[in-house]
């Protein structure tokens, strides 16, 4: 009877899967060096996480809340007093004020200033397609087997790493009153009597020239990732260089083009440093009607003027409006991209 029980147990064990009968492997303990490496990794991640949380998310939440208040830096004695001062005309006062004809200090209408500065910002966006087209053409040449291509890449990238201040000073000396272009060609784009359209084009030329190198680097990387076998097959089929570029190269380069476009629009809507350095410090809101400066001020420059005027709640509301505009512009671009993928 006992033998039968033993044989039955053996048969049952034999029928069980091997992984159930084999002993579970013991986990190896993490050594001290590996543990310290993990700790340092978490420390670096924590620093990035804390910085992003404090200077992006918390700052954005505070900005939204301040836009509902009557925070005036020249009146409020403490930061917390400003946070608790809801505007007496309602928490949406500044958002309504932006699009009304009521003026600040009785000089300029708010709605007119908002639309003028937004229009100026949108005008500066003209430089995006110009810069992308130039960068793409240069990138195509850089990927060719030509002499000194590496040297040209360095030359094109120098403006990107150069200081914006130094570039603005150089631009002013080139195109300003008494500058090189005026003395040699009689071309003056930055003097007080010059049309503000010409002054805007001068800013566009500066932004295009400064951003050319970074975009060239991205496009060169994208072009190097294009599958060369497609080009060879198209050449065998008798396709010319133009057809190969538009039908093979451009579709494969589209992800890079889309990335450059989205980031350029986001950055372009926040343009401020270049016009500020060329045309000088922006006036406070009450002096916005000053001739020669009003039509060159981008939207961020207008926010800067309001902020310097001590109206932090007003400036926060303007900043939120700008964030909403950028969000919807980005959303439209992604929607068009998704629609293109479905076609």
* In a domain? residue 291: yes
Same domain, yes or no, for 64 and 187? no
* In a domain? residue 15: no
Same domain, yes or no, for 75 and 116? no
* In a domain? residue 132: yes
Same domain, yes or no, for 149 and 256? yes
Tens of pLDDT, residue by residue over 273-317, are 998 888 875 554 444 444 445 678 899 988 988 888 888 888 999
d(CA 14, CA 203): 83
Mark residue 292 as left, alpha or beta (left: phi above 0; alpha: psi -120 to 50; beta: remaining). Answer: left
Confidence of residue 130 (pLDDT cuts 50, 70, 90): very high
* In a domain? residue 8: no
Considering only CA atoms, which of 159, 154, 156 is closest in space to residue 137? 156
> Which domain, by its residues, includes 46?
32-101
User: What pLDDT, on a 0 to 100 scale, did the predictor assign at position 105?
Assistant: 38
Q: Pick the residue with more confidence: 298 or 72?
A: 298
Cβ contact 110:100 at 8 Å: yes
Tens of pLDDT, residue by residue over 16-50, are 555 445 555 555 555 777 777 788 888 888 988 99
* In a domain? residue 72: yes
Confidence of residue 264 (pLDDT cuts 50, 70, 90): very high
Structure tokens at 210: 């400064």
* In a domain? residue 1: no
Q: How many domains does the chain have?
A: 2
DSSP character string of 229-248: HHHHHHHHTT--HHHHIIII
Same domain, yes or no, for 119 and 92? no
User: What CATH number does the domain containing 169 carry?
Assistant: 1.10.3720.10
* In a domain? residue 243: yes
Same domain, yes or no, for 121 and 82? no
Q: Which of 86-90, 108-112, 331-335, 336-340 has the highest mean pLDDT?
A: 331-335
User: What pLDDT, on a 0 to 100 scale, did the predictor assign at position 183?
Assistant: 81
Confidence of residue 149 (pLDDT cuts 50, 70, 90): confident
- C-alpha separations of 97 from 36, 94, 232, 315, 343 in Å: 56, 5, 61, 12, 43
Same domain, yes or no, for 123 and 153? yes
User: What pLDDT, on a 0 to 100 scale, did the predictor assign at position 110?
Assistant: 65
Same domain, yes or no, for 221 and 276? yes
Q: Which of 173-177, 264-268, 337-341 has the highest mean pLDDT?
A: 264-268
Lowest mean pLDDT: which of 21-25, 86-90, 125-129, 210-214? 21-25
Q: Please say which residue of 101, 124, 159 terminates a domain.
A: 101
Give the mean pLDDT of 249-254.
Answer: 92
Same domain, yes or no, for 121 and 264? yes
Same domain, yes or no, for 116 and 90? no
Q: Please say which residue of 101, 123, 148 terminates a domain.
A: 101
Q: Please say which residue of 84, 101, 118 terminates a domain.
A: 101
Same domain, yes or no, for 77 and 204? no
Tens of pLDDT, residue by residue over 278-289, are 887 555 444 444
Same domain, yes or no, for 88 and 186? no
* In a domain? residue 308: yes
d(CA 305, CA 315): 9
Same domain, yes or no, for 142 and 238? yes
């Amino acid at each position: 009877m006992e033998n039968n029980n033993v044989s039955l147990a053996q048969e049952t064990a034999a029928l069980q899967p091997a992984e159930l009968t084999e002993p579970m492997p013991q986990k190896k303990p993490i050594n001290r060096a590996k543990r310290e490496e993990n700790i340092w990794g978490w420390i670096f991640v924590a620093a990035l996480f804390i910085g992003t949380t404090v200077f992006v998310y918390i700052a954005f939440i505070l900005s939204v809340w301040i836009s509902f208040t009557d925070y005036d830096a020249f009146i409020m004695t403490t930061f917390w007093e400003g946070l608790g001062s809801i505007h007496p005309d309602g928490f949406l006062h500044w958002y309504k004020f932006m699009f009304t004809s009521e003026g600040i200090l009785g000089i300029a209408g708010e709605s007119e200033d908002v639309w003028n500065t937004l229009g100026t910002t949108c005008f500066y966006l003209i430089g995006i397609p110009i810069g992308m087209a130039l960068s793409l053409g240069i990138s195509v040449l850089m990927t060719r087997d030509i002499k000194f291509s590496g040297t040209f890449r360095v030359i094109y990238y120098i403006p990107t790493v150069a200081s914006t201040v130094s570039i603005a000073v150089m631009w002013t000396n080139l195109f300003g009153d008494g500058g090189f272009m005026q003395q040699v060609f009689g071309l003056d784009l930055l003097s007080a009597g010059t049309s503000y359209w010409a002054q805007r084009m001068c800013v566009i030329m500066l932004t295009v020239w400064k951003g050319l190198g970074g975009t060239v680097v991205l496009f060169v990387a994208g072009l190097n990732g294009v599958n060369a076998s497609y080009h060879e097959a198209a050449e065998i089929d008798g396709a010319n260089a133009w057809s190969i570029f538009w039908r093979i190269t451009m579709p494969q380069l589209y992800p890079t083009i889309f990335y450059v476009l989205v980031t350029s629009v986001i950055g372009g809507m926040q343009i401020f440093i270049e016009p500020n350095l060329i045309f000088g410090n922006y006036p406070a809101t009450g002096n916005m009607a000053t001739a020669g400066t009003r039509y060159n001020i981008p939207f961020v420059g207008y926010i800067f003027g309001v902020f310097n005027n001590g109206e932090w709640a007003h400036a926060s509301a303007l900043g939120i409006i700008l964030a909403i505009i950028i969000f919807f512009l980005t959303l439209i671009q992604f929607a068009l991209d998704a629609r293109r993928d479905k076609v």
